[in-house]
A and B are shown apart, each in its own frame.
Chain A
Amino acid sequence: MSQDSSENLKTTPLFDIHKELGGKLVPFAGWNMPIQFAGVVAEHTCVREKVGLFDVSHMGEIEIEGKDAKRFLQYLLSNDIEKMSDDAILYSLMCYKNGGVVDDLLVHRFSEDHYFLCVNASNSDKDYEWVARHSASYDVKTKNTSADTAQLALQGPESERVLQSLCDVSLNDLSYYNFKKGKVDDVEGIISRTGYTGEDGFELYLPPEKVADVCRSLMRQGEPFGIQPIGLGARDTLRLEMGYALYGNEIDDQPTPLEAGLGWVIKFNKGEFIGREPLLQQKEQGLRRKLVGIKLLTRGVPRSHYRVLKEGEPVGEITSGTFSPSLNTGVGLCYVSKEYSGVGTRLEVEIRNQSVSAEVVRPPFVPSHVKK
């Protein structure tokens, strides 16, 4: 993928299509990416009700292959990959020694000795460096395949119908968090039933030189279903309505994954892994804080770093906040001490020096419709 020398931003192979479709391009994690097309609310609603197509080619991919691949990943990642079958996908954290998070990622298993990781765009170089450094004492080869991999996300209740018309894999048989190698519009790639929206949908890993053709075909096939191109703005409102963590907001290099509610992907019983000791200690001592959902009870939009108060006293800070197009109200995520984390607890969000009343809710803010 090419480098735009003028601003030193990378562009995906769909740059020209984004412009054709009226995308508003902005710098994001070193990439020139569309933040919106028709508008965040329209795009958001389109994904919830119909189907939308996202360019997520900025995401990073790392391949791990070799005799020790499984043993290496068991040490590198917090989740337990032991029982993964071929073509399965697992969400996991990759932690530092202090229990802070290097990145959150998806592990895809081709076979017992061959996997690939899909990682955040903003972290992909750092991640690869981390993976490669720790692989030294294992019989594995690691490869940063980010530049050779484009990625589309097709999300929304109509996505199966749209994709099936172009795809040689039987999608009805492809369950959530599974993938298949197959052809989309005669292009070889990987079709996975995953996403970041809370709707049914697919993520497609494709060769960069072919992805523009596939994108055009999907837009054409999707037309009768009301497909729209979706930008990063709606990607964020969609993920936030589901309460999904975003690296850099809810999780970062600080040891907070348990407080973030990600204990379900931290498997202490699987044996040694990087970050295990401090996290286990935290768990045994009991968590002091918890990431909760915050829903405003009156008008207003919470945004990152806004202070959260209890009867005027600061008790936390919004990590991600937005206007929820589905609920027509302001929502956010926030770490608060345990005593304020109960559902229904009344808090306030400080918005431009005014306290706006809010209550603690348990995410997701809207029901998930992923295919189980």
Chain B
Amino acid sequence: MHIVACVKVIPDTHEVRFDPQTNALIREGVPLIINPFDENAIEEALRLADQHGGRVSVLSMGPPAAEAALRTALAMGADDAYLVSGREFAGSDTWATSYILAQAVRTIGDFDLVLCGKQALDGDTAQVGPGVAERLGIPQVTYAIELTVQGGRARAKRVLDDCFEVVEVKLPALMTVVKQINEPRRPGLKNVMKAKKAPVTVWSTAADIGADPNLCGFCGSPTVVTRIFAPERTRSGEILEGATEERVTTLVTRLRDLGLRSTA
């Protein structure tokens, strides 16, 4: 089987800092990492390919630096790597991104399954995976914590807020995965060094993936992010004093006064 894993490169959220004056995100000099859920997607793709035989292709849309992430995926065991990177794609929101990725997946062609991480830690929208599925006209199953494939069908256990749901779907399909689905393998150095020399296909124009340039980048994005900032802390907390019984009573009273009611 042929599995395509979609990967996004994001600023390392542990290293993110905010400018104290403007409260805006400081992007310069922040190291880039693979979105952690996408590592799970790559691992799941490799796991399924190990089990059923087949190929794993990794795909990313991003700046040239995203190539490093693709090489990590190759070191983990992926067979082919594709990078969509160019001026025409810059400034894409999730609408344009899902269009571009869907076109890229079509260009790669002949796939049975597309795997994505459930969301990217920088945007946190979780929109791109489902967007790609819609544009490809294939079924989507999100928040998969367990995935099996048999005879042209995939079965996924979804983790939702208050329950698990098992869904079966005919391939080709797209799935988004959660962290708990697997533990991504750490590539050995031999594979890391081999991957450094492996070829990565780079598509730098819309024409390369048969996309309409008006539907890419800034011009293809109905939404624009005008500002990212950390909220100002205006209120400080209050520490309740006294014996436990007293504090519980005070707390319940305060919560009631705030209009919060028990639904029990």
| A and B pair up | no
Interface residues of B (CB under 8 A from A): none
Interface residues of A (CB under 8 A from B): none
